[in-house]
């Protein structure tokens, strides 16, 4: 992205659109008050319109809101190391192009060190993105205040500073957009140990992103003694994924109720948990199953559901309540 702010070409700017002029009443008021000479007033109008154009196109509230939403999404993503031959682009790997023998050649201890480097690099990148977005928000507020000033003279006197701020904010936006995409990992040491006469493959490490796993809050429902859970990923992977579903009873009252919890591996995006206690609150979390290449996963979605009240307690219901939860996939219902 190149905003081409430097210089702004104000002496050549065309002012033939209706938005290029201030309201006629404002012009007459300024001229009647003799705040500026006519030539100075024209310069003020041109520069004010240039600033408005920047704030409505390059730094609009809608654009900043969209960047904030993308930033929140990045905070929920999972980050992985991708091991690629140098001739491949990120996302092109498949079992035929990248055989599992590639991992067999890599020193496991060195790879674990690189995973820590990848986690640190991801955290730093997210912090820098947050700082850059804060600079853009602050810059827009600062420039908005200039437009709201009723006296044009300070605006004209400080125009050099305004031009510099526009150029700085354009550079910040460029840096923000460039940093939105995870990049190459910086490797200081060889990952492949000395393997004698075998030719060492040329590989490179990249950080990749997977969209967060989130519960479908409309389709996940609680019944009297069981729940039906559904979740999804915004961008589905080409290869089927494995998930880890966790659940636990909130505020257990007895030692037996403390057993109402568990970790369930799931190969689909739906699952039912049965034999729960009626009229009680349960917390559920879902995430991708642990992967060897995972470096950073700061967030996992959680959902609290309250089972419906059951019939009045009797001997039979008390006996059933002692049974632990049973786990079924939706197809088994």
242 pLDDT band, cuts 50/70/90, is very high
Query: Mind listing the pLDDT tens digit for each residue in 23-43?
Result: 554 544 444 335 678 898 999
b/e map 213-241, b = 16+ CB within 10 Å: bbbeeeebebeebbbbbbbeeeeeeeeeb
Identify the architecture of domain 211-307 in CATH.
Sandwich (2.60)
What are the structure tokens assigned to 90, written together? 């990120």
Q: How many angstroms separate the most distant Cα atoms in the chain? A: 95
Q: Give the SS3 label for residue 331.
A: helix
Note the pTM of the prediction, 2 decimals.
0.74
Query: Mind listing the pLDDT tens digit for each residue in 198-234?
Result: 555 667 788 889 999 999 999 999 999 999 999 999 8
Q: For 314-321, which contacts have Cβ atoms below 8 Å and span 24 or more sequence positions? A: 320/275, 321/277
Q: What would the mean pLDDT of 251-271 be, rounded to a whole number?
A: 96
What are the structure tokens assigned to 313, written together? 């307690």
151 pLDDT band, cuts 50/70/90, is confident
CATH 2.60.40.10 in the chain is located at 211-307
């Amino acid at each position: 992205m190149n905003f081409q702010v430097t210089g702004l070409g104000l002496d050549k700017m065309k002012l033939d659109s209706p938005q290029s002029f201030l309201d006629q009443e404002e012009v007459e008021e300024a001229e009647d008050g003799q705040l500026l000479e006519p030539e100075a007033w024209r310069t003020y109008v041109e520069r004010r319109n240039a600033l408005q154009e920047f704030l409505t196109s390059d730094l609009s509230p809608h654009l900043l809101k969209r960047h904030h939403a993308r930033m929140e999404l990045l905070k929920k993503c999972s980050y992985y190391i991708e091991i690629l031959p140098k001739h491949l682009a990120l996302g092109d790997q498949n079992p035929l192009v990248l055989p599992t023998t590639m991992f067999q050649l890599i020193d496991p201890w060195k790879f674990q060190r690189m995973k820590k480097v990848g986690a640190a690099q991801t955290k730093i990148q997210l912090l820098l993105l947050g700082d850059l977005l804060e600079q853009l928000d602050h810059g827009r507020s600062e420039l908005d205040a200039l437009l709201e000033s009723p006296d044009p003279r300070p605006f004209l006197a400080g125009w050099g500073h305004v031009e510099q701020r526009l150029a700085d904010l354009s550079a910040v936006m460029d840096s923000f957009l460039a940093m939105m995409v995870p990049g190459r990992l910086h490797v200081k040491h060889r990952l492949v140990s000395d393997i004698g006469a075998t030719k060492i493959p040329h590989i490179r490490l990249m950080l990749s992103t997977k969209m967060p796993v989130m519960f479908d809050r409309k389709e996940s429902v609680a019944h009297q003694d069981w729940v039906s859970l559904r979740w999804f990923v915004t961008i589905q992977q080409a290869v089927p994924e494995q998930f880890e579903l966790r659940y636990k009873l909130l505020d257990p009252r007895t030692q037996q109720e403390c057993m109402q919890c568990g970790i369930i591996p799931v190969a689909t995006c739906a699952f039912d948990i049965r034999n729960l206690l009626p009229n009680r609150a349960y917390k559920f979390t879902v995430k991708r199953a642990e992967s060897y290449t995972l470096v950073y996963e700061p967030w996992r979605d959680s959902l609290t559901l309250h089972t419906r009240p059951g019939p009045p307690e009797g001997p039979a219901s008390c006996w059933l309540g002692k049974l632990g939860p049973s786990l079924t996939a939706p197809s088994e219902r």
